[in-house]
Amino acid sequence: MTASGPARLRLALPIAILVLVADQASKWWADQVLDLQTVGHLPLVAVGPFALDFTMVWNRGVTFGLMAGDGPWHQLALAGVAAIIVAVLLRWLWKAENRTTAVAIGALVGGAIGNSIDRLRWGAVFDFIHAQAWGWSWYVFNVADAAIVLGVMVLVADGLLRKQAPTA
């Protein structure tokens, strides 16, 4: 038996808030404490083939910088698309089949709102975490991006691995 819409919301909402607060707090820290807008790059840690550093990047597009643009209307349009996506996710949340889906949707909502705040505040998303391994460099990202990626991975895994009820 699945939980009701309000029960799923009570599960997902704290996750969304946690992601949003962690995202905005980490961006404040990177901007105000590390002063990445001035410094640009700070090496953090390197262990064997793994390296993690802070690198200031303004993402004016969506995932991996796709559909980038500089105009204010462009950023408002991207924030508007994110608002529509959040509305669709909340509708999905209301009908979510299990707790795993609810938690994953909470992470997606928190991440989408966090990056939308950046677009409205700065006109771009503030990315600053840069990971590398074995000579391979990942795109610079932030806490909201990580939550979105993990949320999508959980939804995909849940959809692929969950046992379906037999149909008659």
pLDDT tens sequence across 5-45: 788 888 899 999 999 999 999 999 999 999 988 888 888 88
Q: 66-94, pLDDT tens digit by residue?
A: 455 566 666 667 677 777 888 887 788 87
Output the pLDDT for position 42.
Answer: 82
Q: Are 15 and 21 in contact (CB under 8 A)?
A: no
Residues designated catalytic: 127, 145
**73 vs 51, more confident:** 51
Q: 84-135, pLDDT tens digit by residue?
A: 888 887 788 877 888 999 999 999 999 999 998 998 888 889 999 999 999 8
Show the CA angle centred on residue 118, arms to residues 121 and 147, nearest 5°: 160
Q: Where are the domains of the chain?
A: 9-36+65-125+143-161
From the number of C-beta atoms within 10 Å of its C-beta (0-12, 13-18, 19+), residue 27 rates as buried
HSE of 46 in the Cβ direction (CA atoms, 13 Å)? 7
User: What size, in residues, is the chain?
Assistant: 168
**11 vs 151, more confident:** 151
Q: Which residues in 52-88 are b (16+ Cβ under 10 Å) and which e?
A: ebbbbbbbbeeeeeeeeeeeeebbeebbeebeeebee
| pLDDT band at residue 166 under the 50/70/90 scheme | low
